[in-house]
């Protein structure tokens, strides 16, 4: 099994890829502009995740949904 270490990130605490102060998206923190080009808000990450999940369902790609253990992420205040 391949594991990787996540880099610490305190640049964008509201980023959807920032999990407990660690960046789960990037493996290099050297940005030309000094500002993370990957930043997405938690809401934007949730919305894109659900759009991608819905697309896989529409394509009947249950193999990928099961392989990556995907689930819809509820909207704020939404009951699952």
Reported as a pLDDT band with limits 50, 70 and 90, residue 10 is: confident
Domain span at residue 13? 7-27+37-67
Determine the pLDDT at residue 19.
Answer: 85
Q: Is the per-residue pLDDT at 3 higher than 80?
A: no
pLDDT tens digits, one per residue of 51-63: 999 999 999 999 9
Q: Which two tokens stand for residue 64?
A: 């990928």
Q: How many domains does the chain have?
A: 1
Determine the pLDDT at residue 78.
Answer: 59
pLDDT tens digits, one per residue of 16-71: 888 888 888 888 888 888 788 888 888 898 899 999 999 999 999 999 999 988 88
Determine the pLDDT at residue 80.
Answer: 47
Q: Which residue has tokens 């000094």? A: 34
Alpha-carbon dihedral 54, 60, 65, 71, rounded to 10 degrees: 30
Beta bridge partners of 18: 23
* Residue 62 forms part of a structural domain: yes
Q: Is 23 helix (H, G, I), strand (E, B) or coil?
A: strand
What pTM was estimated for this model as a whole?
0.63
d(CA 54, CA 31): 33
**DSSP 8-state secondary structure symbol assigned to residue 18:** E
* Residue 1 forms part of a structural domain: no
């Amino acid at each position: 099994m391949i594991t990787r270490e996540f880099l610490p990130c305190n640049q964008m605490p509201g980023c959807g890829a920032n999990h407990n102060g660690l960046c789960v998206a990037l493996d290099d923190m050297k940005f030309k502009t000094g500002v993370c080009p990957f930043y997405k808000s938690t809401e934007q990450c949730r919305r894109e995740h659900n759009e991608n999940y819905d697309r896989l369902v529409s394509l009947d790609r249950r193999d990928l949904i099961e392989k990556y253990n995907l689930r819809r992420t509820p909207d704020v205040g939404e009951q699952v």
